[in-house]
Structure 1
């Protein structure tokens, strides 16, 4: 019983599939001429679907209701729409049942589908679907018509209703004549009928065309590589390479990243095969140069910026085949891309590729566009190669603050003795954000010389005049050194007394209290307890914050 239920369910599913094939063919056969590949492919798919069903069933019979179609009393199609309603399309002309018999030939199915594809509302003939079926005299397609219900109740009363409306709306003969005249004018201006397509229809067509093109390109590629194998040393490899190159360009223009990856993968496998000659290998290796050319990179950039949904994983795998020549065009289009997502894809590729050639990446630091320079600095930071330091040091005096902050951050992460002096100079930069970036960079370097520079800067007489935000960043950074020198330095500031500039002193004490809390040294609790009830609100608040952190963790 379970097996029988499963068979019935599968049969219903296949019946639904046939209805979908009919719907698809009804639209596509109206749009394309018989010599079009899509027209031909639609017929082939439709015939195959019917044949598969009729191979194990004697016939395929559907019963037609006004808004639904049934197979074996099970609904396989339903729609309440006035337009694009297949059930209503059949029903309004009186069709109540359609049967397709085993042995249905493809030419008879084609004639049936062509009838469905007629635009009955606009094309210049008066026949209905039943008349056309009768004229064809099909041998394998049978139908049942209900003559009594060729039109629904509203259509039966159409003339009565129309006459009533005219009497209600037209008050004299002139109005009536004008109504007729306007009606004729309206007909004259109708022109060629345009088939309405939904978004779903358009998406289906695009996918169909893309799939068809991709399949053909795939077959071509397989043939080209087979020719290489079959005629090693004999074939004109230049011509085959030209075909492969054109295929890569075509795929890039149409966003077919999967096919580009397949071409590159096949080329790589072929190069590794010992039976392939050196001449063939040389040309196949040139494909890696070609995909990194300005011609192809520009197509990738256009694709990424278009907003089309792409598989970034596919492009990342393609980028693994890039040679060094791809760096220059990638940087060029990095500066022209409009979307963050597109720039990220290019940046990730440059990070991977830049490990092969730091020098070529660093050339981007000379770009006139500040945002390109900042992105190149980011790329160098992600590559994390200390050889980049010599190029970055030349950029530290860039006029744009955003670039300076990025290069300071990168130098801090790369570290090294050679960056210390340049970062020290940045502590005196006119821009506070640049100075704060330099402080944090010293914190990342975390060496003894870096610590000494920060402690000396805090000890300077002019330090007290800095804004509280900047002071706080200094103290927060030195708290990273969990040693006795820093602890004693902070305690000393907490214990400092002065009768002058007490407001500025309280700011420094509050920062020191905050830093003591960050050190995690519980010996600071005794010191902080003395200031938890301070008359200065800023010092009191930060002392209590530090105490809670030390006590509660």
Structure 2
């Protein structure tokens, strides 16, 4: 069945090309494959720009009074985008999904912010299609924006559908869930997702559907939706406001959390508005003032430990730098001031305090700030590595440096000469994770560093880099004068798997290997086992079978070493060889097998 706007109704849900029907019915659909997940079709570009302008205008309507010049500029931009669309068509028909807007089956708008998501706002009020027709003027659009503002700010006791019905805007038409249900559907039952119960608690369902799939199982989600809907139905039918009651203590706990969430959302919306004005305002002096205000806001937010909001400023600055080189050229000094302030001494002290916390709740985490720091902050983060004491904090710094340090390798390499061993160790960890091949010649001398932790991390970094000069360096270290370095190099090489077998066997088969200390020999065999290569099994089987009349002690020690290698391996052939070793006449070998089997049952192979 088709209504006057061309919407097709079949069995109570909307059929839209490209899968938009599914989202319009409350089901998520897979997004387009491109990075922005927005429609790439050239003919829809004006609609995409209109949808963005509409979202900005709605946000401005919530932030400014109707006579504010900034709000007026957003209205002007919106009318311009409308005019561009109407040059090629007589109307803009938007299908409303839970989180996206669609046109002609393609996604033309989406937002990751649930507070400012235009699609979510329309969807929650039951609107499933919205059409703007040619002829809509500025005053009519202003009335529409005011309705949306009143609904989102909860100033109106009526939802958006009711307001549209009452005001009857001549050039704005819509289809809501009620309209869909009013269509004749014969004897077919109304689908559950569009039933009256759904209409009673659509807000509950959309809220629960936004929960993370990995955190909340489907069964728990469905049960929560059902229970929430039942409570809401009882509330609507009985008028009893005491169905869900809170104790004084519970209210005292919940109220600060709710107020904190509201405040955080408001701060982000204000910041977004500032950046919108920077992009929209044609007056350089106005933009300069706002950029200066943003720097002060960053200082204030960090002082209050509002890390997420402070990071929001840095991410928006990064976005501005990437998209608007013209503004960067004009206001480069002011923008640089924000970036410099973000990691200056005062901000570093605040970060150090935050990073030294051992237990951190997600809303209070400094991760939102660290993840937004730009490459210009590498030096500051390296300095923090020398003062942050908690392992959690150090790892957060390491992860950030891995992300932003590639273009600043000279700074990282300079810190390899730091007198503090723990700084050097952590920089080595960064370079290894970055697989920075150019750092190999700087890392190699550190395998003889006076501190054991640095030596181990240097070898680990070389094995992580794992190519070219790094492998050559590890191979050379197999013949180092210090047996501890030789064993550590062997263990690092073992991470290369089958590629490490031949170099290790060359050392093991060398004439002087039998005369080396037993601990070193066991270390090389353990490394050979860690490669888990089946190529070594014939060699190990041969060693287990050697029971000469002379040099019994040496042969016995080599069989123990073979057992050590097998203890680090996995596979049915390995178990068979260990069972064979259990029949060895030497009690020392049999004891080694028993220990190996216990380790295999209790542990996973350890790491370097």
- The alpha carbon displacement at 1:367 in A equals 1.4
**Aligned residue among 461, 485, 490 for 1:410:** 461
Alpha-carbon contact 1:233-1:277 (below 8 Å) kept? no
1:371 aligns with 2:433: no
Alignment of 1:228-307 (within 5 A): 228-229=278-279, 231-268=281-318, 277=327, 279-280=329-330, 282=332, 285-286=335-336, 287-306=338-357
Structure 1 Cα separation of the partners of residues 594 and 351 of structure 2: 57
Alpha-carbon contact 1:439-1:477 (below 8 Å) kept? yes
1:327 aligns with 2:378: yes
Counterpart for residue 339 of structure 1 = 390
Structure 2 Cα separation of the partners of residues 496 and 323 of structure 1: 64
- The alpha carbon displacement at 1:230 in A equals 5.8
Higher Cα radius of gyration: 1
- The alpha carbon displacement at 1:336 in A equals 0.6
Counterpart for residue 392 of structure 1 = 443
SS in 1 for 2:448: coil
Alpha-carbon contact 1:292-1:323 (below 8 Å) kept? no
Alpha-carbon contact 2:477-2:489 (below 8 Å) kept? yes
Structure 2 Cα separation of the partners of residues 273 and 446 of structure 1: 45
Counterpart for residue 145 of structure 1 = none
- The alpha carbon displacement at 1:294 in A equals 4.0
Counterpart for residue 490 of structure 2 = 439
1:309 aligns with 2:360: yes
Q: Deviations over 1:210-234 (max 9, x none)?
A: 6797578557645644653564234
- How many residues end up aligned between the 2 structures? 366
Alpha-carbon contact 1:385-1:414 (below 8 Å) kept? yes
Gapped regions of structure 1 (runs ≥ 5)? 25-199
Change (3 A) 1:310 1:246: farther
Question: RMSD of the alignment, in Å?
Answer: 4.6
Q: Deviations over 1:239-293 (max 9, x none)?
A: 3322211111111111112222332344455556779745556357433444244
Change (3 A) 1:305 1:206: farther
Q: Which has the higher contact order (CA 8 A, sep 6+)?
A: 2
Structure 1 Cα separation of the partners of residues 281 and 574 of structure 2: 83
- The alpha carbon displacement at 1:438 in A equals 1.3
Counterpart for residue 506 of structure 2 = 456
- The alpha carbon displacement at 1:507 in A equals 1.5
Alpha-carbon contact 2:508-2:524 (below 8 Å) kept? yes
Structure 2 Cα separation of the partners of residues 532 and 251 of structure 1: 67
Q: Deviations over 1:95-147 (max 9, x none)?
A: xxxxxxxxxxxxxxxxxxxxxxxxxxxxxxxxxxxxxxxxxxxxxxxxxxxxx
Structure 2 Cα separation of the partners of residues 256 and 522 of structure 1: 57
1:12 aligns with 2:62: no
SS in 2 for 1:416: coil
Give TM-score, length-normalised by structure 2: 0.50
SS in 1 for 2:446: coil
Q: Deviations over 1:503-545 (max 9, x none)?
A: 343011232255468486959969985x643331122455789
Counterpart for residue 70 of structure 1 = none
- The alpha carbon displacement at 1:353 in A equals 1.2
- The alpha carbon displacement at 1:359 in A equals 2.7
Counterpart for residue 74 of structure 1 = none
- The alpha carbon displacement at 1:380 in A equals 1.4
- The alpha carbon displacement at 1:492 in A equals 5.3
- The alpha carbon displacement at 1:440 in A equals 1.3
SS in 2 for 1:348: helix
Alignment of 1:15-94 (within 5 A): none
Change (3 A) 1:324 1:230: closer
Structure 1 Cα separation of the partners of residues 479 and 524 of structure 2: 13
Change (3 A) 1:336 1:314: closer
Change (3 A) 1:548 1:226: closer
Structure 1 Cα separation of the partners of residues 373 and 334 of structure 2: 13
Structure 2 Cα separation of the partners of residues 350 and 509 of structure 1: 46
- The alpha carbon displacement at 1:8 in A equals 4.5
Alpha-carbon contact 1:248-1:260 (below 8 Å) kept? yes
Alpha-carbon contact 2:301-2:310 (below 8 Å) kept? yes
Structure 2 Cα separation of the partners of residues 226 and 233 of structure 1: 13
- The alpha carbon displacement at 1:477 in A equals 2.8
SS in 2 for 1:395: helix
Alpha-carbon contact 1:288-1:321 (below 8 Å) kept? no
Structure 1 Cα separation of the partners of residues 543 and 281 of structure 2: 85
Deviates more, 1:400-409 or 1:275-284: 275-284
Deviates more, 1:246-255 or 1:422-431: 422-431
- The alpha carbon displacement at 1:414 in A equals 1.9
Structure 2 Cα separation of the partners of residues 547 and 220 of structure 1: 63
Q: Deviations over 1:154-212 (max 9, x none)?
A: xxxxxxxxxxxxxxxxxxxxxxxxxxxxxxxxxxxxxxxxxxxxxx68x977996x679
Alignment of 1:515-526 (within 5 A): 515=565, 518=569
Counterpart for residue 524 of structure 2 = 474
Alpha-carbon contact 1:471-1:511 (below 8 Å) kept? yes
1:351 aligns with 2:402: yes
SS in 1 for 2:305: coil
Give TM-score, length-normalised by structure 1: 0.54
Gapped regions of structure 2 (runs ≥ 5)? 1-229, 600-608
- The alpha carbon displacement at 1:435 in A equals 3.5
Alpha-carbon contact 2:307-2:368 (below 8 Å) kept? no
- The alpha carbon displacement at 1:301 in A equals 2.1
SS in 2 for 1:396: helix
